[in-house]
Amino acid sequence: MNKNQEHLDVFDHLFSQLADDQSTIADFSNAVKSSMDESARKKGYNSFSEMISAEISSSLSNSQPRKPQVDTKNISAEHISRFEYMMKAIQSVTYEPKYQGYYGTGHRSCLDSYAKQMENNPKDLCVIEEKVKADIKYYAKLLKKNRNDAYTQGYYDALVLLANSLLRSKKAKMREIKKAVLEMKEKAQ
């Protein structure tokens, strides 16, 4: 069955409910609205009207929506712990309208879950790094099975974001250590 037929079947069902006096016009209207909103959430938006508005804005500005990302320009990894960097990174993530709905729910769920795990072990993020790597592999397999699952896509993208942020925080700490060692070496000479 093609997608157009599926959409027509949904409306046929709604019209048959109206024709059978199983629902009032208001009930029918609410059912149509919630069906359209559900479809928009599956595509990443919070509602159908938000999807239309975002698509119009996108077409007028000729810009593509950006996936959620860490605001690296406003977060410095220097002179703070890796844990502090990661918490700031997670808090800096914002969502454009296309990446809300089920996608945003999956993305935020992943970030919140890992934030709690980091809070339980703030001194050793290497354990978190290994778990993120394993979860990336697991969710990549899930996505191969069902590419249209917005929640899983959001969760997977959040894992990738976490992996990149963990790497940035590690590199920043290594630069700090290298700088301190070189300063000690210069003072010793």
Radius of gyration of the chain (CA): 23
Q: What pLDDT is attached to residue 181?
A: 86
- The yes-or-no verdict on residue 33 having pLDDT over 60 is yes
Q: Is 43 exposed, middle or buried (0-12, 13-18, 19+ CB in 10 A)?
A: middle
Q: What pLDDT is attached to residue 17?
A: 58
Q: How far apart are CA 173 and CA 76, in angstroms?
A: 11
Q: What pLDDT is attached to residue 11?
A: 59
**Max mean pLDDT range (63-67, 143-147, 152-156):** 152-156
Q: What pLDDT is attached to residue 1?
A: 47
Residue type for 66, please?
Answer: R
Q: What pLDDT is attached to residue 43?
A: 65
For 56-101, the DSSP string reads HHHHHHT-PPPPP---TTS---TTS-HHHHHHHHHHH----GGG-H
Q: Are 37 and 45 in contact (CB under 8 A)?
A: no
Q: What pLDDT is attached to residue 21?
A: 57
Q: How far apart are CA 83 and CA 38, in angstroms?
A: 37
Q: What pLDDT is attached to residue 84?
A: 92
pLDDT in tens, 60-103: 666 676 788 888 777 776 778 899 999 999 999 988 877 878 88
Where is pLDDT greater, at 178 or 112? 112
**Which residue is it, tokens 């980091």?**
118
Answer yes or no: pTM beyond 0.95: no
Average of per-residue pLDDT values in the chain: 80
Any residues with CB less than 8 A from the CB of 155 and at least 6 apart, and which?
Answer: 106, 107, 109, 110, 139
